[in-house]
Amino acid sequence: MTIPSNHYDVIYADPPWAYSEVPYFKKSLAIQYKYPTLKTKDLLNLDVERIAKKNSWLFMWAVWAQLPQAFQVMEAWGFSYRTCAFVWAKKTKNDKNAKTYGRCCTQGSTEIVLCGKRGSPRRYAKNVPQFFEALRKGNSVKPDEVYAFIDAVVDPIFQEPNFKNNNCSADDIADCPTYFLGCWCHVDGAEEVSKIELFARRPWPGWDCTGNDKNLLEPIITLGCPTDVYFGDVRDMIGVKNVENINA
């Protein structure tokens, strides 16, 4: 099943960067032994621009060691780099800074989300923080908070955590199964914003998603926020620009 063209206002992606392309990383510690990765040339060939609207956002996770590649991928996908949207400071269960491998200089404990734009997409909230702390849960698992932060920037539905004006069947806002930093429900009269997550690990209410993680096949409660799941190789769902240069 192919993702429709010119469909999404917002694209959120966590590309499976191939650490084997970083010279100072030992192959014995390469991430590709923990989950399938894509080389930079494969990411560059993804036809992400095809599924994006004329005015749209891209929020893309990047790793410090491969920033040059991240900028190349963002441009190849049809977006202009604007800024670093979020900086995640990883914390342990004991509220200490989580330590990651520091193979070149310092020992890292942060990860970033880059922001790109195509055309002139609308921004709503102007007070969303760039820096945040959140628990590191597992290898490549990203914090749920980012969904809320992005929604606050791009989606009028989530501008005010006003439970009384939302279409929620829960008796109290704390009982809303998808409540987070407000009420994850549809506000009457709000403009529809189409959103998709690429290389998703699990579905999220209000976001379409695509990826090959089996958790995507688990059912979720959407509360009026339909989610289309495209399960399989992202290259098949999105398409590629130059099939001859793709290593399957």
CATH value at residue 202: 3.40.50
Number of domain units in the chain: 1
State the DSSP H helix or E strand holding residue 145, giving kind and residue range, or none if neither: helix 145-154
Residue reference for tokens 């959407």: 222
CA 230 vs CA 9, 50, 139, 234: distances in Å: 17, 16, 23, 8
Which range is most confident: 45-49, 94-98, 123-127, 162-166? 45-49
Provide the domain limits for residue 223: 8-155+193-245
**Residue 46 lies inside a defined structural domain of this protein:** yes
**Tens digits of residue pLDDT in 38-90:** 999 999 999 999 999 999 999 999 988 899 999 999 999 999 999 999 999 99
Q: Please report the beta strands in 92-207, taking only residues with DSSP state E, as ranges in sequence order.
A: 110-118, 131-135, 195-198
Region 142-155: mean pLDDT is 92
| pLDDT higher than threshold 90 for residue 152 | no
Contacts of 177 (CB under 8 A, 6+ apart): 170, 221, 223
**Tens digits of residue pLDDT in 178-212:** 454 444 455 556 678 999 999 999 888 889 999 99
**Residue 181 lies inside a defined structural domain of this protein:** no
User: Given pLDDT bands bounded at 50, 70 and 90, which one contains residue 157?
Assistant: confident
**Residue 170 lies inside a defined structural domain of this protein:** no
Tell me the average pLDDT of the chain: 82
**Residue 17 lies inside a defined structural domain of this protein:** yes
**Residue 26 lies inside a defined structural domain of this protein:** yes
Amino acid at 12: Y
**Residue 130 lies inside a defined structural domain of this protein:** yes
**Residue 184 lies inside a defined structural domain of this protein:** no
Q: Strand 131-135: give its sheet, edge to edge.
A: 131-135, 80-91, 110-118, 52-62, 8-13, 195-198, 208-211, 229-231
| pLDDT higher than threshold 90 for residue 233 | yes
How high is the pLDDT of residue 25?
62
